[in-house]
Amino acid sequence: MRTKKGNVISKSGAKTAVVEVHSYRTHPKYKKRYRVSKKYHAHDEENKAQVGDIVTISETKPISKLKRWRILPKGVSPEPKAEAKSRTNVSETE
């Protein structure tokens, strides 16, 4: 499951936020790094995100025409299933 961290730049309807994510790319010939940004429409189930908030979004199944991401609640970080299983196995063996 992919996650990205970005800034809420607008609220576009009920339970929807537009999140802008910045990343860096390198020019193939000149090797200069430059900043690119992309906007994602994300589902905000609790409708708590405000403009200016820094949020983490996670990829999910398509919710609508544009929404393929959801905003994760504060303090929740998605953990790969393999790591979650290995952690439970370690605690059981102790």
What pTM was computed for the model? 0.76
Written out in words, the top-level CATH class of the domain with range 3-93 is mainly beta
Q: What pLDDT digit, counting tens, does each position of 5-28 carry?
A: 999 999 999 999 999 999 999 999
Coil/strand/helix, residue 3: strand
Classify 93 in phi/psi space as left (phi over 0), alpha (psi -120 to 50) or beta. Answer: alpha
Q: What pLDDT digit, counting tens, does each position of 35-74 carry?
A: 999 999 999 999 999 999 999 999 999 999 999 999 999 8
**For residue 10, what are its two tokens?**
């607008």
